[in-house]
Structure 1
Amino acid sequence: MASGSAWCSAARQLPLRLTAGIFFLNSGISKHGADEATAEGLKQFAAMTYPFLGKQDAQKFVRLLSAGEIAIAATLLVPVVPAAVAGAALTAFSLGTLGLYLRTPGLREEGSLRPTEQGLTIAKDVWLLGIGVSLIVDGVNEHR
């Protein structure tokens, strides 16, 4: 019965892991060869919320961001990585992007959580948080 339960859990996780994993793989690969202007823009945007990033070299920042996104993609797309581990990586990253959304002026309507047009591209990352938490819960339940 345990193997049937494990198969059912893996099948249930597949759509979550594939959609988020492919999304992260594409994002990480697209940032891999970012030009200086793109790298500087990404770094400055992140540094508005996370000031310690302002001290980083822009190219190094984008290389690390790219590598992080590709690593998260791997945790999601490689089936032997436990769901809780993949979910934790995804949750941590999405909390960081949602921190940008909540703290960056102009991304939300005044006094609201509703995104402005500029904030929509980051506000949608809430689905990544939902997938990450779902994978954590599923992974914890697998070990019970």
Structure 2
Amino acid sequence: MKVAHVPLRAAVGAFVLNSGLSKRNLEGEAAQGMHGMAVGAIPQLRQIPPDRFAKLLSYSEVALGAALLVPFVPSALVGLGLTAFGAGLVQLYLKTPGLRQPGSVRPTEAGTGLAKDVWLVGAGLTLVLDGLTPRRSRG
């Protein structure tokens, strides 16, 4: 991992890890609400029961957050995971009614929380692109 990636990976990794840990025990109405919103954006998720979906989401976030925090996971690889995760959240934002102003991508007050997840896509793509760019010699 490049030293320049440490601040980005630490900040995003801690955030995603915490998010995953906070979902570990989601059940009942909380899991159903999260599942329902996800199904609205990705109908195929309907096949997964809400409690199982919440667990899978929690495990995925914990794994992604940990991968961002450990230095031996290549930045390009962890960037791909972060980009995919962020893209899923952006899709959720774009497909959920009431989160965007009519005819616009600008968020409503209710949509601001998800609209801001576009930064995950940007951070992921930055890690991928920088990880795939050959290093120049300084000499």
TM range (shorter): over 0.9
Unpaired runs of 5+ residues, structure 2, are none
Alignment of 1:40-55 (within 5 A): 40-55=32-47
Q: Is the 8 A contact 1:75 1:85 kept in 2?
A: no
Secondary structure of the structure 1 residue equivalent to 2:7: helix
Moved more, 98-107 or 9-18: 9-18
Q: How many residues align?
A: 136
Alignment of 1:26-41 (within 5 A): 26-41=18-33
TM-score (norm 1): 0.90
Q: Which amino acid aligns with 1:130?
A: G
2:81 corresponding residue in structure 1: 89
1:74 corresponding residue in structure 2: 66
1:112 CA displacement: 0.8
57, 64, 67: which one pairs with 1:65?
A: 57
80, 104, 126: which one pairs with 1:134?
A: 126
Q: Percent identity?
A: 46
Structure number with higher helix proportion:
1
Q: Distance in 2 between the 1:109 and 1:92 partners?
A: 25
1:4 corresponding residue in structure 2: none
Deviation string for 1:8-58 (max 9, x for gaps)?
Answer: x62210111011100111000000011311101000010011111122111
1:86 CA displacement: 0.7
Unpaired runs of 5+ residues, structure 1, are 1-8
How big is the alpha-carbon RMSD for the aligned residues of Structure 1 and Structure 2?
Answer: 1.3
Q: Which amino acid aligns with 1:74?
A: A
Q: Distance in 2 between the 1:108 and 1:53 partners?
A: 22
